Every structure is written in C-alpha cells, then in structure tokens.
Amino acid sequence: MTLLENTSTPPDPVTEDRSMAIRETLRNAIIDRRLAPGTKLSEAEVGALFDVSRTVARAALQMLTFEGLVKTERNRGAFVSHPTPEEARQIFASRRLIEPGIVAAASERITPDDIARFREQLIEEERHINERGPAARRAEIKASGDFHLMLASVAGNAILQRFMDELVARSSLVIALYGRSGVSSCGHSEHFAILDLIERGDAKRAADLMLHHIDHIEADLDLQPKQGVALKDVLATG
C-alpha cells in the first residue's frame, strides 16, 4: 500500500512540521478513499509508516480528529470516520449556509487570473471524468472538491476557508459511503455554469446555482437511516 505519496521535499524545507505533513498525507488518503471509513489507524502503525515516534503520529491523529475525519475512542484508538446519515445531512446543511456566501464574496474579489486557473482546474476535472478506473474516480472526487475549495480561497476569508476544508473533506467521506452514482457528473457542468455566472458578475444567480448544486449532490445520496437495531453500523462495511 503506497500511502506515502511523493514526499517530494526531504532535503530543503527541513520538514517544518512532521505531524502536519502526516496529517496532510492521511487526509488526502481519506478524502480519495484509499483509506475506507472504519479503517483503524493505530498510532504505532502510522508512526512506523512515516518513520516517526508514536508521539508525532498521535499529534497528527488528534488533528484529524478535530477535523472530523477521524474518530478516536478512548483506550481503543483512532478510526477513519464513518459518518451517519444524520451527520451527512448536517454537513450539507452547513454547506448550504456557507457556500452561497462564499460565492458572493468570491464574485467580488475574483481576478481574470483566478478565472484562468479555475478553467484549467475544470478541464482537469473533465479529463478525470472521461477516464476509467478507480484511480480516475478518486482524482475526480478530489478535483470536484477542489473547485469548491478554490472558491473559498478566492473569497478571502481564512476562517470560512478552514470550515470549507473540513466540510468538503467530510463530504467526500459521505459520498464514498452513501453515493449512488459515485459522483454525479451533472455536478461538473454546474461547476462550469457557476464559474460563468461569477465571471459575468452575476453574484446572485451564481449563489443560487451553488445552492442548487449542493442540493443535487445531496440528492444523489441514499441517506436512509439503516434499519435494524443499528448493530454497530460498522458491521455493514466489515
């Protein structure tokens, strides 16, 4: 299992914070489903994988816990989060509140340069959609989320950006668990349409479309509260 992606920079930046780097790597692995919900992340294992002590691994896991990507149970350990349907609804409810505002802010601040980068990103996204295989699916999910994160970045509010980081990451988990069609490909065309409206300066319509877009993503989910006595949830995924 190649969890460690190209660490790329072992020499220069002196690894300015190892637990942060581990967090990022694990985060990406969770977001694009290389680590399935429910997977146990033991401190020793993580430490061994990244060649650090349990102390550092533990710090990384604690950060992920705060982001809601990992759930730790006292004296039992850390596991990749397995959001319930209710949590899923709350995640999307939160996004419905925040993202229209982000679109509005982004509309006011976006530069032609930004727009060029967005178009590039969307073309990249399209490329993944047309490819086959699980790797392409992962890249597609990641790219789809990145569009929303780029908007948050342009909006220029660091706090909202962090909230969105968390919400988008957790949305990936939810889609992995409850998505019907993997990723609704209609989502991609909506990204294009939103960008167009923003470029045209029609912030109101762009925000409205974003709202619909989120609705569409959520509509693609199957959020039936698992019947039965909910015997540990995880049992279903094994």
Partner DNA sequence: GACTTTCAGATTGCATACAATTTGGACAGC
Partner DNA sequence: GCTGTCCAAATTGTATGCAATCTGAAAGTC
| C-alpha span between 42 and 76 (Å, rounded) | 9
| C-alpha span between 9 and 125 (Å, rounded) | 26
Q: Of 50 and 137, which has the nearer Cβ to a second copy?
A: 50
What's 15's DSSP letter?
Answer: T
Token pair, residue 234, equals 């995880």
Among 17, 24, 126, 199, interactor with DNA by CB under 7 A: 17
Is 12 near a second copy (CB under 8 A)?
Answer: no
What residues from 35 to 54 belong to the interface with DNA (CB under 7 A)? 40, 42-44, 52-54
Write the CB contacts of 130 (distance below 8 Å, at least 6 apart in sequence): none
| Residue given tokens 């300066």 in the structure block | 201
The answer to whether 48 touches 17, Cβ cutoff 8 Å, is no
Q: Of 77 and 101, which has the nearer Cβ to DNA?
A: 77
| Residue given tokens 């985060």 in the structure block | 27
The answer to whether 160 touches 152, Cβ cutoff 8 Å, is yes
Rounded to the nearest 10°, the torsion over CA 95, 166, 85, 32 is: 110
Q: Of 68 and 85, which has the nearer Cβ to a second copy?
A: 68
What residues from 81 to 120 belong to the interface with DNA (CB under 7 A)? none
Number of alpha carbons in the 13 Å side-chain half-sphere of residue 83? 28
Is 42 near a second copy (CB under 8 A)?
Answer: no
Among 2, 11, 74, 112, interactor with DNA by CB under 7 A: 74
Among 18, 62, 115, 136, interactor with a second copy by CB under 8 A: 62
Is 17 near a second copy (CB under 8 A)?
Answer: yes
* Closest approach of a second copy to the CB of residue 206, in Å: 15
Q: Of 121 and 157, which has the nearer Cβ to a second copy?
A: 157
Token pair, residue 16, equals 């300015």
What's 179's DSSP letter?
Answer: B
* Closest approach of a second copy to the CB of residue 102, in Å: 8
Interaction site with a second copy (CB under 8 A): 16-17, 55, 59, 62-63, 66, 68, 74, 87, 90-91, 93-94, 96-98, 101, 105, 157-160, 163, 167
Using CB under 7 A, list all residues that contact DNA: 14-15, 17-19, 40, 42-44, 52-56, 58-59, 72, 74-78
